[in-house]
């Protein structure tokens, strides 16, 4: 089974924000991924709150 098949997409930021980053929970794991619009891994966090903060910092100007 591929790594992508073992993950669930949990949430995306509001559609008016550009670029759109995906926050994904890895199944059977405590890790949360932040992925950019090109689906490249930006970072891994233990908590969803940390992933949201990373996205907030990347999208605010």
Distance spanning both ends of the chain, measured CA to CA: 39
60 pLDDT band (50/70/90 cuts)? confident
Contacts of 60 (CB under 8 A, 6+ apart): none
pLDDT above 60: residue 2? no
Residue 61 clears pLDDT 80, i.e. is over it: no
Q: Where are the beta strands (DSSP E) in the chain?
A: 7-11, 22-26, 32-35, 41-45
pLDDT exceeds cutoff 60 at 1: no
What pTM did the predictor assign?
0.68
Specify the long-range contacts of residues 32-35, CB closer than 8 Å, at least 24 apart.
Answer: 33/7, 34/58
The string of pLDDT tens digits covering residues 6-38 is 455 555 555 554 669 999 999 999 999 999 999
Q: What is the pLDDT of residue 43?
A: 97
Query: What is the domain partition of the chain in residue ranges?
Result: 4-12+19-59
């Amino acid at each position: 089974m591929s790594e992508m098949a073992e993950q669930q997409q949990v949430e995306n930021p509001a559609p008016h924000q550009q670029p759109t980053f995906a926050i994904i929970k890895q199944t059977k794991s405590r890790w949360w991924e932040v992925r950019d619009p090109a689906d490249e891994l930006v970072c891994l966090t233990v908590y969803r709150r940390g992933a949201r903060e990373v996205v907030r910092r990347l999208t605010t100007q």
